[in-house]
Chain A
Amino acid sequence: MSNEYKLIGKDFVPPDITGKVTGKAKYAEDFRADGMVFARMYTSPMAHGKVTSINTEQAEAMEGVVGILTAEDVPEVTAPDAAILTNTPAYIGDPILAIAAETEQICEDAMATIEVEIEPLPFVTDPLDSLVDGGPNARTEGNAYARSREGSGFQTIKWSQQQVDDFRAGKEPTGDFVSEWSYGDLDNSFAEAELVIEEPFVTIGYAHMSMEPRTAMAYWQNGTCYVHGSSQSQSYFMPGLARMLGVETKDVVLISENTGGGFGSKIGAYPIAALPGYFSKKIGRPVQLRVTREQEYYMGSARVGFQGWIKMGFGADGKITASDVFIIEDIGPNATGGDASSAGGAISMVYDPSAMRFRGLPVLTNTTPRGAQRGPGQNQIAAVMAPIMDKAAKVLGIDRVEIRKINSTNNDTIVYADRRPVTSAYMDEALQQGADMFDWQNRKNQPKKKGKKVRGLGVGQGYHSAGATGFDGLVRLTPDGKLHIHSGVGNLGTYSFASTSRAAAEVLKCDWERCEIHRGNTENHLPWSSYQAGSVTIFSHTRTNYVAAMDALDKMKRIAAQTMGGEPGDYDIDGQRVFLIEDPAQGMSYGAIAARAIQLGGDYSGAVYPDDIHEITQRAVQNIAGSGLIGVAKDNLHQEGVIPGLAVAFCEIELDLETGKYDILDYVGIAECGTVIHPKGLAQQMKGGAVWGMGMAGLERHVYDPQNGLPANIGYHQCGIPTYLDVPSVTKTDAVNIADPQNPFGARGIGEPAMGCSVAALQSAISDALDGHIFGRTPISPDMVVNHVMGRDQSFLPLQTNNF
């Protein structure tokens, strides 16, 4: 594509903005249907147990109560998978039953009369407590769960007290683990190292904190289940939802116009989204389940926590020779994780050690189910690595930015255990751009201490793979001359559904005002799309819209040639016209082309379509066939190697040694995500990611009472999300903006690294302010700083997790 884009790289007003600022945007709970009733859930008060009896007699007799749904009414699942409703709850808040009534108040009045007897089972909230010999298992089937291509299953893994004690003391773990990968000659690489650093670490998990709880409303019409849900993705959500509802994908309609945040917790269909469907079927009325804030904290997913040990080898020149990492990951009750191996992958990508080993041990706990959260694994390890890199720089006498540049990912970097290339990478350039913008050299020479306050400078790096392929694009030109871009991309608040749609308009040189995006409802005929997670959307859907638009372009030229003579190659487009290159006055408007396509039928009108497109796209095409010129294609563009999304951040803090508090004085974030598609959207991603990273670095964490399995954080206040005054008033961002060769527009994704670089930079800055002290823990709270400065022990055990 040309560098002279009309739309790509330019700001625009995404079509959903007006609704969001006026309050007119509709979310799942804003919808009503005739005869609709409300449902509320009864959830487990126990961290692990077995329901022995349920008495709903009184509730059922109450006026206004319409029905009760229990585990017997929904499909049974096999542990550790999450059920819609369960009789063997494995965490506090695990849904047991639901009541439907004319009003929510009646639901809750009825709920107060429900008697559920539960036999308690052993439970655990800290993986190390389960791992130690004689410790409780979170599931009766075992305490660890391995997922691999070779097979998945429960295991029971125990370490001796001595092994746990040694691990807590910072020694290399010697207990069993379940997964391992490596490359290079680890022993030799460590032997060659000038400096070896070993550090234990903890990153405590915490809630996804979606502002919109996972509310859903459902009803059935002629065998089709209509679900108004809250989902990150649109089309990608469908097959899973259909599977959970026990119907075919074609028999489900998902309406999700706006989503109040998902952050990884609403990627694909989640069980509770299917509850209203089952309930509606049972009672024959539309049902809306509005999940409460408290329940959202119980079941709304959380970041995986790490307890680990890392050993890094550095050459005298600062080059990382070897990395050995062992991670116990807290995978909650449903064995949802995988963050640890991703963390290993991130080490490989960002720090490029010549040899590396990863060992992982996923341990079950009776805490909130875990799920991918922005940079799952990559961001935890970014936080861990930043102070370690700083320590190495200090010992080796190298500038802290320089040591990162020495190890920076570039176009020749080979990553991961399977030693794959990258599509392109410019970490060095990002670091330099950030250092210049932040004025690193000058700042680092400023005096550090002023009374009881001390300045700290931090630099952090973030990474996540940022692209996926194989999804479909669908565009349609109608006789009124409009370009309709059908997008199965979910609207999770990043505007990516809109910015990627502009790729089609760019290809077809169509004025943005003459484009209409169709999205948010299966009945808007949406193609098969990616999952709006893993930072893939920008890369994936600029490609899908590109291939669909190219298909349309090809058809437009063929129609022009067919109608006006000559070959398709004789024609070009501009100004909403297809014209003869040799005589631009001769041409057809887009409207005329579309009308002609309808007349011609066949692949022009969508009556015929490629057979490699997904069944969801096929149905969409079938439904709009004959309404215009159809451009539809699967993204079969060339793609090989890892598609990196990279980001760096610099920050300066002023830390108060007497209170343990710090102010973030300045922050610079640089994205390395190929071509910038939507500058304001990117800036928002970088700023939002920065705030999130600041929360992870200093505020957010799960806290569980281990004696009773109780979660302390079940509300916004307790969860400690950063507020306006906890973040810098100005967050500066920019991008490297060098095109990636494997995207037609040069774009890669950025969502997740935007946060990873922030948490890393802040951890680095805190460490710098405290003369290089490594807490080895997120978050670092004021009490930890005070205790450290005053030479007092910390309150918690080394490597303890889910604690204050």
Chain B
Amino acid sequence: MASFDVMPEVQLFQPAELDDALKLADELGSDGWLLGGGQDTYGWLKDRAKQPRAMIDLNGIEALQGIRKTDDGMEIGAATILRDIIRNEDINRDYSLLSQAASRVASPQIRNVGTLGGNLSQDTRCWYYRRGLDCYRAGGNICYADGPQSMNREHAVIGASRCVAVSPSDTATALLALDATMVAENTEGQRVLAAEDFFVGPNTHITQMTALKPGEILSAIRIPKKWASQRFYWEKVADRDVWDFALVSIAVSMAMDGNKIADSRFVCGGVACTPHRLTNVEQAVRGRTLSNESADAVAPLASEGCKPLNYNHFKLPLMENLVRRAMRG
């Protein structure tokens, strides 16, 4: 068993224009690797678990940078680093859910180079898969994490299909709760996907985490005005307070009508292969006030339909507790 841990020969392209990057992405297809902050790149390449022919460095493309106000909210370039999102006044004022989530990503060092696009597109952290094993997700025919003795404390409790890995992204839950859309571009044009459609599960795409196709680049993330300056709740429970992935996290947006909830989004991270919307909770909280009674009433709905693995049934009460906390006001 080689541990490799050394960069293999790989070409590096550093386009300055998005069009050039799209052309490269198109030409290289699945042999190309989009490079953002590199935090989910170099490990894969050094371990030789992924063997692209070339990297396309997106960091020099101005069109992918920056945080802009738009008629319908905000647009964030996919290569914008997380630190800039955390420090942006407009986001902090109107969409603090996102800046809170971004501020709990990994560590300050990683947030200084890690991009929003990279955080959203990152691969799952299932330790079996990250080991480079040829599991379902890697094109094999088995899930090592879902056996009778598998060590799967961090894995999915809902939405699994053969693969039981979870989405590790903190910003993904927040963006889903903000009804964000993702702009995916290729040489033929662009398509705009709802955040819910951007993240894909193993039942449909067992080897992918997002709906991006080879040759496509996530260029921007758009956040509609709908949830601007509404009530938000964000919490992430991880073993460590820095540099760790969520055991369970929650991102909540609530539009209040007086003291009652008119509309809401409840999204859990760390429980499914995609950010997991708690639609039954959203329905149940409509018209309710924020109170201990409401919290206790709706919390049990959070874990409905969940099916724990060997080591992760604690996620069910944790999901319920996080909903409870969001509802207490």
Direct A/B contact, Cβ within 8 angstroms: yes
Using a CB–CB cutoff of 8 Å, the interface residues on chain A facing chain B are 40-45, 92-93, 104-105, 107-109, 111-112, 114, 292-295, 658-661, 698-699, 703-708, 710, 712, 714, 717-718, 720, 722-726, 781-784, 786-787, 790, 792, 795-796, 803-804
Chain B positions within 8 Å of A722 at CB level: 240
Chain B positions within 8 Å of A93 at CB level: 1
Beyond known contacts A710-B128, A782-B314: 11 more, CB 8 A cutoff:
A43-B3, A108-B4, A108-B48, A111-B2, A114-B2, A705-B150, A710-B131, A712-B127, A718-B127, A782-B247, A787-B314
CA distance A706 to B150 in the complex (A): 7
A-B contact pairs, 16 of them (CB 8 A): A41-B3, A104-B6, A105-B7, A108-B8, A111-B4, A292-B3, A708-B144, A712-B151, A718-B127, A723-B107, A725-B242, A782-B239, A783-B311, A792-B313, A795-B153, A795-B313
Chain A positions within 8 Å of B7 at CB level: 105
Contact flag A783-B1 (CB < 8 Å), given A718-B127, A790-B317:
no
Nearest CB of A to B156, in Å: 15
Q: Which residue of B240, B242, B312, B313 has the most chain A CB atoms within 10 A of its CB atom?
A: B240
Chain A positions within 8 Å of B139 at CB level: none
* A-B pairs with beta carbons under 8 A, tally: 128
Chain A positions within 8 Å of B5 at CB level: 108, 292-294
CA distance A108 to B4 in the complex (A): 6
CA distance A712 to B314 in the complex (A): 20
Nearest CB of B to A736, in Å: 33
Cβ 8 A contact of B314, one of A109, A295, A792: A792
Nearest CB of A to B324, in Å: 7
Nearest CB of B to A697, in Å: 12
Contact A707 B147 (CB under 8 A): yes
Chain B positions within 8 Å of A698 at CB level: 239
Provide the main secondary structure of the chain B interface. Answer: loop
Q: Which residue of B lies closest to A704 (CB)?
A: B151
Contact B6 A105 (CB under 8 A): yes
CA distance A710 to B48 in the complex (A): 19
Q: Kindly supply a per-residue 1/0 record for chain B positions 298-329, scoring 1 wherever the CB is within 8 Å of any chain A CB and 0 otherwise.
A: 00000000000011111001100110110000
Contact B311 A795 (CB under 8 A): yes
Nearest CB of A to B157, in Å: 12
Q: Which of B1-58 contact A (CB under 8 A)?
A: 1-9, 48
Contact B4 A659 (CB under 8 A): no
Chain B positions within 8 Å of A112 at CB level: 2, 4, 48
Contact A109 B8 (CB under 8 A): yes
CA distance A292 to B48 in the complex (A): 14
Chain A positions within 8 Å of B243 at CB level: 717, 723
Chain A positions within 8 Å of B131 at CB level: 710, 714
Chain A positions within 8 Å of B321 at CB level: 658-659, 786
Cβ 8 A contact of A659, one of B6, B127, B152, B318: B318
CA distance A308 to B9 in the complex (A): 51
Contact B311 A804 (CB under 8 A): yes
Contact B239 A795 (CB under 8 A): no
Contact B144 A705 (CB under 8 A): yes
Chain B positions within 8 Å of A708 at CB level: 144
Contact A706 B149 (CB under 8 A): yes
Contact flag A705-B151 (CB < 8 Å), given A105-B8, A292-B5, A723-B242:
yes
Chain B positions within 8 Å of A41 at CB level: 3
Contact A42 B1 (CB under 8 A): yes
CA distance A705 to B107 in the complex (A): 28
Contact A44 B147 (CB under 8 A): no
CA distance A294 to B5 in the complex (A): 8
Contact B1 A786 (CB under 8 A): no
Nearest CB of B to A564, in Å: 64
Q: Is B263 interfacial (CB 8 A cutoff)?
A: no
Contact flag A723-B312 (CB < 8 Å), given A40-B2, A112-B2:
no
Q: Kindly supply a per-residue 1/0 record for chain B positions 247-272, scoring 1 wherever the CB is within 8 Å of any chain A CB and 0 otherwise.
A: 10000000000000000000000000
Chain A positions within 8 Å of B8 at CB level: 105, 108-109
Q: Which residue of B6, B9, B149, B243 has the most chain A CB atoms within 10 A of its CB atom?
A: B6
Contact A795 B310 (CB under 8 A): yes
Chain A positions within 8 Å of B9 at CB level: 105
CA distance A707 to B8 in the complex (A): 32
Contact A786 B107 (CB under 8 A): no
Q: Is B94 interfacial (CB 8 A cutoff)?
A: no
Q: Which of B82-102 contact A (CB under 8 A)?
A: none
Chain B positions within 8 Å of A786 at CB level: 314, 317-318, 321
Contact B149 A720 (CB under 8 A): no
Chain A positions within 8 Å of B3 at CB level: 41, 43, 292, 294-295
Cβ 8 A contact of B153, one of A43, A44, A107, A804: A804
Q: Which residue of B1, B5, B325 has the most chain A CB atoms within 10 A of its CB atom?
A: B1
Q: Is B237 interfacial (CB 8 A cutoff)?
A: yes
Contact B2 A661 (CB under 8 A): no
Q: Which residue of B lies closest to A659 (CB)?
A: B237
Q: Which residue of B8, B247, B324, B325 has the most chain A CB atoms within 10 A of its CB atom?
A: B247
CA distance A37 to B151 in the complex (A): 40
CA distance A574 to B242 in the complex (A): 53
Chain B positions within 8 Å of A42 at CB level: 1-2
Q: Which of B147-172 contact A (CB under 8 A)?
A: 147-153
Q: Is B241 interfacial (CB 8 A cutoff)?
A: yes
CA distance A708 to B6 in the complex (A): 26
Cβ 8 A contact of B240, one of A111, A699, A712, A804: A699
Contact flag A725-B247 (CB < 8 Å), given A105-B8, A804-B151:
no
Cβ 8 A contact of B2, one of A108, A699, A707, A783: A108
CA distance A112 to B6 in the complex (A): 12
Nearest CB of A to B257, in Å: 27
CA distance A45 to B219 in the complex (A): 40
CA distance A107 to B48 in the complex (A): 14
Chain B positions within 8 Å of A293 at CB level: 5
CA distance A784 to B312 in the complex (A): 10
Q: Which residue of B lies closest to A107 (CB)?
A: B6
Contact B239 A781 (CB under 8 A): yes
CA distance A781 to B240 in the complex (A): 10
CA distance A660 to B237 in the complex (A): 9
Chain A positions within 8 Å of B241 at CB level: 723, 725-726
Chain A positions within 8 Å of B296 at CB level: none
Q: Is B244 interfacial (CB 8 A cutoff)?
A: yes
Contact B239 A723 (CB under 8 A): no
Chain B positions within 8 Å of A804 at CB level: 151-153, 311
Chain B positions within 8 Å of A706 at CB level: 149
Q: Which of B201-255 contact A (CB under 8 A)?
A: 235, 237, 239-244, 247
Contact B312 A795 (CB under 8 A): yes
Chain B positions within 8 Å of A723 at CB level: 107, 240-244
Contact B150 A707 (CB under 8 A): yes
Chain A positions within 8 Å of B151 at CB level: 703-705, 712, 803-804
Chain A positions within 8 Å of B107 at CB level: 723
Contact A783 B247 (CB under 8 A): yes
Nearest CB of A to B85, in Å: 20
Contact B1 A43 (CB under 8 A): yes
CA distance A502 to B4 in the complex (A): 45
Q: Which residue of B lies closest to A293 (CB)?
A: B5
Contact flag A717-B244 (CB < 8 Å), given A707-B147, A707-B148, A804-B151:
yes
Chain B positions within 8 Å of A705 at CB level: 128, 144, 149-151
Q: Which residue of B lies closest to A291 (CB)?
A: B3
Cβ 8 A contact of B1, one of A44, A661, A792: A44
Cβ 8 A contact of A792, one of B149, B150, B317, B325: B317
CA distance A708 to B131 in the complex (A): 13
Chain B positions within 8 Å of A787 at CB level: 313-314, 317
Q: Which residue of B lies closest to A714 (CB)?
A: B131
Q: Which residue of B lies closest to A103 (CB)?
A: B6
Contact flag A658-B325 (CB < 8 Å), given A294-B5, A718-B127:
yes
